Each structure stands twice: as structure tokens, then as C-alpha cells.
Amino acid sequence: MMRLPVLSHFTPKTLDEAIALASELPSARFVAGGTDLLPKLKRRQLGASALISLTRCEELQTIKRLDDGGWRIGAGVKLVELVRLPELRSSHPAIWQAASQVASPPIRSSGTVGGNLCVDPRCFWFDQTAPWREAAGQCMKIDPAVVCRVAPNSPRCWAVSSTDLAPAMGAARAKVRIVGPAGERTVPLPELYRDDGIDYMTLSHGEVIVDVEIPGSVGWRSAFWKIRRRQSIDFALLSASVEVFMLTDEVLEARVGLGAVGSCPLFPPEVAAVLVGTKLEDDVIEAAAAAAKKLARPMETSDMPSSWRRRVLPVAVKWALREVRGDDVTDARRRYGPQVLLP
């Protein structure tokens, strides 16, 4: 059985208290549902002297519908709460679809929105037990002196961003409110991330994600497609989230989010630009999917070859676009497990 290292545990009742504690404890980590952090501490992938639980900070626990039809969702809200919101499903289908495909029901009952946005980038060489890694000669994400096993000539780590909510929320123009020792700031969601498998977030020590604001979606249509090995539990091998603004049958604005194909979620304007001014005809969908394939550079970070992920990414983009066009994709959603998904 893998055990947690010995550490102190604090349960502050307010956000201010949590931030003050973090300032006093430089090697402490915040914990919310613990579904990502605790297994990593047990496998000695990460270290910490103390955990500061955010579960009692009320500031993080609320869900509010905004006047424009958007949402303010507290970082401490559990994923299962999002899945149980039929209004979110109809106003922002991609975000609802992303939340409902994270891991499995028990994990969604503990895992939170904030924790999901901060999920540690994954890699086949990193997400292993300590004896496995030691036998293999360690990995750069644990020990920067070791060459990256995925790209030995590369000076950087290529662990892959594995959050499902980030591509969907980023494409939906979400903004993230962060509070820390230096005060409060609000950033567009893509600015939360760095393209680096190790130093992957722009949060400083002691900064807490308080909530995510998602603007109203009148005129917007969206869809999120996730490809994974099994239809439950597994992280994405790749994901695609699309948002199109259509008042008639013409796309006036578009956003595309790609997950699990780089060390941060990608929001390529080149792919979105292909869609604007069109009626999402088949050739436009093909062109957007081809543009996504050209941009994404998945590495050998999972047990599926990167060539497979490059070939399948445009398929996911195409299905997401067909869904927002209004095609009936029920059968494809049911049928298309990754094993049978051939381009």
C-alpha cells in the first residue's frame, strides 16, 4: 500500500487565513478534493511539508447565474455539482460535457473545478511509482538533471496538460479570479498556463483560484469531444472543444480549444479563423481539422503513439464541429471509443 509522507494538515475557514498560512509555509501545497495531489504525494512524484485544505473556504463554494446568462463558478465547486446542473448543460454544453467526462463518478464527487484547472501535466515516465521510476533511471520532471525520456535532445519537459475543463472553459472565454498575498487579479483562462511540463502554471506560491467567470452564451453553440482509452476513468489522449457564434447560419466568431496535445491547453486562432464567415460546410470542417492537426505536436507521453494522436485529433475536431452544426452525433458519441476511432 502506498502511504502519504508525514506532513501537517491545516483546514483554514477563510480564504485570507489560507493565504496567510501559505505565506508562512513555503513548501506547503493547497489541496481541494485531493484526487490529483494525494496520489502524486503517495507515489513521491511531488513533495510537501504541509497541506492547506481549501474545502472550508466558503468564498470558493458558490455557483451563481449572471445577468447575461453566464456563470460564476467557485473553484471549490465539485465536478458532480456542475454535472447536475441542467441549466449549464443547455447554456454551455461544452463545459458540461467536459465536466461530465472527467475521470469517473466517485472522482467527480470529490474533484473540484479549481483542482481540475491545476491538474499536474502527465507523462508515461512521470506517472509511475517511485521504484518504477528509479529502475527506469528517473525522469526530468522529478530530477531536472536527468534528460527528458520523451525527447532526450530537448532542454525542456514535455509532460502533457491533462485538464478537461481548461480547453472547454478557455474556448468559452472564461476569466479566472485569483487571490494571493499580493492581492487580487483576474486573467483570461489561457493566461493561467505556461507551455512547460514542469512549471506549468502562472500562479505564484500562495495564490488561490477563487472562481471562474463564464460569459453568457446567447448565439453561441459549443461541443467538447474527448478521446480516451476507456469510456470512464481515463485521462484524455486528446480533446477538442469548439465554440461558434451564429445568429443565422453563418459563423460570426469562433474559438477552438485543444487539450492533451501539448504542455498547456491550446487555443489556436488559426483554426478558429477557418470557421469565421462560413456556414460550416463539410470542406470548411475538413480545413479546420487539418489546421488543428498541423498545429498540434503531441509527444510520446502516453501509451498511445504520438502519430496516432496526431491522426485522431482532426477526427475529434470534425465531430465537435458537426455537433455544433446541428448534425445528429448521438450514434458517434456512443460508438466511437478510441479503439475504433480511425481517421
Ligand X SMILES: Cc1cc2nc3c(=O)[nH]c(=O)nc-3n(C[C@H](O)[C@H](O)[C@H](O)COP(=O)(O)OP(=O)(O)OC[C@H]3O[C@@H](n4cnc5c(N)ncnc54)[C@H](O)[C@@H]3O)c2cc1C
Q: Which residues of this protein are in contact with ligand X, per CB under 6 A?
A: 29-37, 39, 54, 60, 75, 79, 102-103, 107, 110-112, 114-116, 118-119, 162-164, 208-209, 233, 235
Q: Least distance to ligand X from the beta carbon of 166, Å?
A: 8
Closer Cβ to ligand X, 147 or 198, answer by number:
198
Closer Cβ to ligand X, 309 or 325, answer by number:
309
At residue 66, the 3 state secondary structure works out as coil
Closer Cβ to ligand X, 29 or 322, answer by number:
29
Q: Which three cell numbers stand for residue 331?
A: 450514434
> Taking CB positions, which residue lies at the least distance from ligand X?
115
Closer Cβ to ligand X, 28 or 291, answer by number:
28
Q: Least distance to ligand X from the beta carbon of 270, Å?
A: 25
User: DSSP string spanning 84-133?
Assistant: T-HHHHHH-HHHHHHHHTSS-HHHHHH-BHHHHHTPPPB-TTTSS-HHHH
At residue 161, the 3 state secondary structure works out as coil
Closer Cβ to ligand X, 53 or 278, answer by number:
53
Residue 10 in contact with residue 50, Cβ under 8 Å? yes
Residue 289: CB partners within 8 Å, gap ≥ 6? 313, 314, 315, 317, 318, 321
Residue 203 in contact with residue 210, Cβ under 8 Å? no
Closer Cβ to ligand X, 154 or 202, answer by number:
202
Query: Which H or E run contains 320?
Result: helix 306-325
Residue 290: CB partners within 8 Å, gap ≥ 6? 314
Closer Cβ to ligand X, 177 or 322, answer by number:
177
CA–CA separation, 1 and 306 (whole Å): 33
Burial call 284-306: b when 16+ CB within 10 Å, e when fewer: bbeebbebbbebbebbbbbebeb
Q: Least distance to ligand X from the beta carbon of 31, Å?
A: 4
CA–CA separation, 331 and 312 (whole Å): 18
Closer Cβ to ligand X, 170 or 275, answer by number:
170
Q: Least distance to ligand X from the beta carbon of 264, Å?
A: 14
Residue 75: CB partners within 8 Å, gap ≥ 6? 32, 54, 60, 112, 113, 114, 115, 117, 208, 209, 210, 211, 212
Q: Which three cell numbers stand for residue 307?
A: 502519430
Closer Cβ to ligand X, 110 or 278, answer by number:
110
Q: Least distance to ligand X from the beta carbon of 58, Å?
A: 13
User: DSSP string spanning 239-301?
Assistant: EEEEEEEESSSSEEEEEEEEESSSSS-B--HHHHHHHTTS---HHHHHHHHHHHHHH----S-
